[in-house]
Structure 1
Amino acid sequence: MKNSLKYFGIALLVLFGFQALAQEKQARDLDNFRYPDQRGINQFEAPKDTATTFNGVHVRIGGASTIQFQALDHENTGNPVDENGDPISLIEIGNNFNLPTANLDLDVQLYEGVRMHLRTYLSSRHHPEPYVKGGYIQIDKLDFVSEGFLEPLMNNLRIRIGHMENNYGDAHFRRSDNAQAIYNPFVGNLIMDAFTTEVGAEVYYFDDGLIAMLGATNGKLNQAVNNPDATDPSYIAKLGYDTHMNDNLRLRLTGSVYHTNKSANAYLYSADRSGSRYYFVMEPEGASSSGNFRSGRFNPNLRNELTAFMVNPFVKYGGFEFFGTYERVTGKAATELDERSFNQYSGELIYRFGNKENIYVGGRYNLVEGELLGGTEVDITRFNLSAGWFMTKNILAKVEYVNQEYGGFEESDIRNGGKFNGAVVEAIISF
């Protein structure tokens, strides 16, 4: 039944794709909407515009389909053992295609200044069957109350409510979200991949480049009513400035915070259910793609209490762009008395050229360092080189070289002396 649903979903997405191509001249844009194609590159929050094109309820069906060819090798130098004292070996991996992934997006203009978004993973590494990622309602006007209601205030305000991807940091705007990988100039996301979907609300203020946001969630990835005292609310805030100095120079700088005082399981670095792009790397014999779907990533396991800060500078001058990440997270698990901390650093340098900047080359350096449960100091470094070609605004092909190394892990840890490297080719259709 699950396979039937998966293939039906993929067939449905292909059908919608052909329909979209056949109706290319038909208006598919919505108000205050981030484009799901090349035009969405280097958009962050959806634009805030008081102009409207509303002419009745309008449903936009979109989606994405992505596949990779992986040619990676991995190795380690430790002597890891299982709970019975038996040695554990790395799983053997070869060169081949990964599972194709697919998304289905429903975006609906419900009223003037009111929009809905819903994303379903039709096929993903962790869920080969369709799985609802989440959605939200976005309110940029209150004309549904009465025409012009609080208009001077709503010219600058936005409200988002839903079980949604929460707006902590700017790195999540450039990451691959299952099949939606057209915004990411690389194949993989960051080592410590800050991403979560929780039920909550976010209130935004936009004013001539200034961006401010305050949000609160119930702190839960998996919703339930039978554990009311297990988790406290989480709080999110962002402050930044985004401006075009002239036709060639754009500057953006934001700072964000995510805080939860008590959680049954804080998912900020493990919430992505679609899985990582580097299949089976540094995983033991017997690993399964869905059971070990976070391979290549790192979760600091601050499960019950954490505070995370992220600072993101972005500079674009002509075809050159730089995007940086500094992140510090502090917290602890329920079994710990003292807090631990991890730092993450990342810098991306991209050069886009050609017709409408449809070709790019770039590099990224990513470092994570901190203290594991038990006191061991570890570090993980990754270096990426990437090149991409937008065949059309909806079709992207990219190739990446990746090298990731693990330092400081105990000899009994499978990551001791660990390393993986090689190439991954990825093709994306997004509309």
Structure 2
Amino acid sequence: MKIKFKKLKVASAILTSFISSQALAAETSKIQFSGAVMQSWQAGMEVDGAAANPANAESDSGFHRLRFALNVNAQVSERVSIFAELAEEPNDWNNGSAAISQDLAWIQFDMTDSLGLRLGNLISTTQTFLRYSDGAAVQANPFVGNGLVDMITAEEGVWVYGVHDVSNDTNITWDAVVSTPDFFADFSDGRGYNYGLRGTLNFANGLSFGAGTFKTNHDIEAVRGKAFGSAIGLGDGDNYQFASTPVSARGTHTLIIPGVDAFIWQADVQYKIDNFMVHALYGNASDDYSWANGQGSLQTDYVEQESEMSFWSIEGKYDLTSSAYIAVRYQESTNDSEGIETENDATRLQIGAGWWMNDSTLFKVEYVNQEEDQFSGGGATDFGAAGGAEWDGIIAEASVTF
């Protein structure tokens, strides 16, 4: 018994020492964990008209796969920190394997109090006021779904950013990114780099102006055989799902520019106070190349023919109480590609409401209606088929952050 007791005391001492050392390391590097979980449900969403996939004409209601994210933040030193998001995002780029993957992650260097640099997997976008759902990270978005014309993705590279006070009540924010568009280390000759630049001017009364640009730069042979040059023109994964479209597809986004040799710009204006927000934007995206077999679906071959789209959006959010709100968003894109002049619009209307059960728990419900003209390039429409297509439905979501 004495031998066993001594062994127990030794084991206990070793365990205590290990826990203490780990606690000391955690305290030294200030490691913090956080995360999010989201579960959603949708009514049946049927594609009426010339559906790109006729099997989507009838879609039943059901629950989506739960989405989960774990965030790790580590303050390594006064000016060096690390961030990593480990997430399952079946609505984005996961392949149905239910795998936890690294999505966003970076090393951050705070060079001064107003200037920073990040290296890693970064956000590439022309949007300056971000409100979108990314896997389980959904609470910044007052709606359940994302926008029809969101120009946003994640890429590998370097991100420099800053914030500067112009006066006591006005500041400027900006960021610049140089990136490559593939998480899987594609070093094909001619793959090239992408370049982005954004900025905002923010006044104390709640009025802000923003603008963003983005340039992709890939030789055609480097991307031939791949479904796109950069995913920025295809938007982030959405939360609406049809019967026979893969959950990671972009079937609800306009698919006009393949992102091979593209230039995108966007201008925004926003007015936001404690209980009210209104935001409007206008932008244009063009590419020297098009998908070889028409628009509206991802392909792996391209032709040297200009593709172009213009787009605009307006949205508003009003807080009914400290815990409940309503929101409306309307967006429209126009296919201005070479040879296309009529029946080329796609629109999305979203009407949403939300209720905060507590500071970390949000319930949302939304009605969505999307109309896609014959040549709109909408992902649910059989491109070129007379009459286009339309779909609508109701979707609900519960999310918790921790």
Q: Same fold (TM over 0.5)?
A: yes
Indicate how the Cα distance of structure 1 residues 317 and 271 shifts in structure 2: closer, same or farther if over 3 A, else same: closer
Aligned to 2:398: 427
What is the CA-CA distance between 1:348 and the residue it aligns to? Answer: 0.9
Q: Are 2:198 and 2:212, in contact at CA under 8 Å, matched by a contact in 1?
A: yes
1:239-296 per-position Cα deviation (integer Å, ceiling 9, x unaligned): 2212323xxxx12211111002325222213374xx321101xx7xxx2534x63232
Pair 1:207 & 2:143 matched: no
Q: Secondary structure at the match of 1:299?
A: coil
**Aligned amino acid, residue 101 of structure 2:** Y
Indicate how the Cα distance of structure 1 residues 257 and 133 shifts in structure 2: closer, same or farther if over 3 A, else same: same
Aligned length: 343
What is the CA-CA distance between 1:75 and the residue it aligns to? Answer: 3.3
More displaced 10-residue stretch of structure 1: 174-183 or 58-67: 58-67
Pair 1:187 & 2:152 matched: no
Pair 1:198 & 2:160 matched: no
Counterpart Cα distance in 1 of 2:157 and 2:268:
23
What is the CA-CA distance between 1:297 and the residue it aligns to? Answer: 1.7
What is the CA-CA distance between 1:320 and the residue it aligns to? Answer: 1.1
The normalised TM-score by structure 1 is: 0.73
% of aligned pairs identical?
22
Q: Secondary structure at the match of 1:262?
A: coil
The normalised TM-score by structure 2 is: 0.78
What is the CA-CA distance between 1:123 and the residue it aligns to? Answer: 5.0
Match of 1:170 among 128, 132, 136: 128
Match of 2:350 among 360, 376, 384: 384
Pair 1:233 & 2:198 matched: no
1:313-357 per-position Cα deviation (integer Å, ceiling 9, x unaligned): 221134111122222101132644442211121111110142xx3
**Aligned amino acid, residue 256 of structure 1:** G
1:343-397 per-position Cα deviation (integer Å, ceiling 9, x unaligned): 121111110142xx32111111011111458646521111111110111111000
Counterpart Cα distance in 1 of 2:235 and 2:35:
21
What is the CA-CA distance between 1:107 and the residue it aligns to? Answer: 1.3
Q: Secondary structure at the match of 2:46?
A: strand
Aligned to 1:242: 202
Aligned to 2:184: 222
Indicate how the Cα distance of structure 1 residues 369 and 79 shifts in structure 2: closer, same or farther if over 3 A, else same: closer
Aligned to 1:302: 258
Query: 5+ unaligned residues in a row in structure 2: which ranges?
Result: 1-25, 166-170, 224-228, 291-301
What is the CA-CA distance between 1:200 and the residue it aligns to? Answer: 1.3
**Aligned amino acid, residue 332 of structure 1:** D
Over 4 Å off, 4+ runs: none
Pair 1:267 & 2:223 matched: no
Matches within 5 A, 1:364-403: 364-371=329-336, 375=340, 377=342, 378-403=344-369
Aligned to 1:10: none
Rg larger in structure: 2
Match of 1:257 among 204, 209, 213: 213
What is the CA-CA distance between 1:221 and the residue it aligns to? Answer: 4.2
Indicate how the Cα distance of structure 1 residues 279 and 111 shifts in structure 2: closer, same or farther if over 3 A, else same: same
Indicate how the Cα distance of structure 1 residues 317 and 123 shifts in structure 2: closer, same or farther if over 3 A, else same: closer
Counterpart Cα distance in 1 of 2:310 and 2:382:
24
Counterpart Cα distance in 1 of 2:121 and 2:368:
33
Q: Are 2:230 and 2:258, in contact at CA under 8 Å, matched by a contact in 1?
A: yes
Counterpart Cα distance in 1 of 2:284 and 2:230:
16
Q: Are 2:45 and 2:241, in contact at CA under 8 Å, matched by a contact in 1?
A: no
Q: Are 1:279 and 1:293, in contact at CA under 8 Å, matched by a contact in 2?
A: no
Counterpart Cα distance in 2 of 1:112 and 1:213:
22
Matches within 5 A, 1:77-156: 77-78=49-50, 88-125=54-91, 126-127=93-94, 128-141=98-111, 154-156=112-114
Cα RMSD of the aligned pairs, angstroms, is 2.6
Indicate how the Cα distance of structure 1 residues 167 and 338 shifts in structure 2: closer, same or farther if over 3 A, else same: closer
Aligned to 2:371: 405
What is the CA-CA distance between 1:189 and the residue it aligns to? Answer: 0.6
Pair 1:344 & 2:311 matched: yes
Indicate how the Cα distance of structure 1 residues 202 and 370 shifts in structure 2: closer, same or farther if over 3 A, else same: same
Q: Secondary structure at the match of 1:268?
A: helix
Indicate how the Cα distance of structure 1 residues 210 and 412 shifts in structure 2: closer, same or farther if over 3 A, else same: closer
Pair 1:157 & 2:115 matched: yes
Counterpart Cα distance in 2 of 1:276 and 1:415:
26
Counterpart Cα distance in 2 of 1:387 and 1:105:
27
Counterpart Cα distance in 1 of 2:339 and 2:106:
40
Q: Are 1:102 and 1:124, in contact at CA under 8 Å, matched by a contact in 2?
A: no
What is the CA-CA distance between 1:89 and the residue it aligns to? Answer: 4.6
Aligned to 1:43: none
Counterpart Cα distance in 2 of 1:79 and 1:295:
11
Counterpart Cα distance in 2 of 1:312 and 1:417:
30
What is the CA-CA distance between 1:181 and the residue it aligns to? Answer: 0.4
Aligned to 1:418: 389
Counterpart Cα distance in 2 of 1:401 and 1:259:
34
**Aligned amino acid, residue 99 of structure 1:** R
What is the CA-CA distance between 1:204 and the residue it aligns to? Answer: 1.9
**Aligned amino acid, residue 239 of structure 2:** R
More displaced 10-residue stretch of structure 1: 367-376 or 117-126: 367-376
Indicate how the Cα distance of structure 1 residues 408 and 271 shifts in structure 2: closer, same or farther if over 3 A, else same: closer
Aligned to 2:295: none
Counterpart Cα distance in 2 of 1:372 and 1:296:
19
Q: Are 1:72 and 1:420, in contact at CA under 8 Å, matched by a contact in 2?
A: no
Counterpart Cα distance in 1 of 2:85 and 2:386:
34
**Aligned amino acid, residue 368 of structure 1:** S
Counterpart Cα distance in 1 of 2:400 and 2:241:
21
Q: Are 2:149 and 2:332, in contact at CA under 8 Å, matched by a contact in 1?
A: no
Counterpart Cα distance in 2 of 1:408 and 1:288:
20
**Aligned amino acid, residue 335 of structure 2:** G
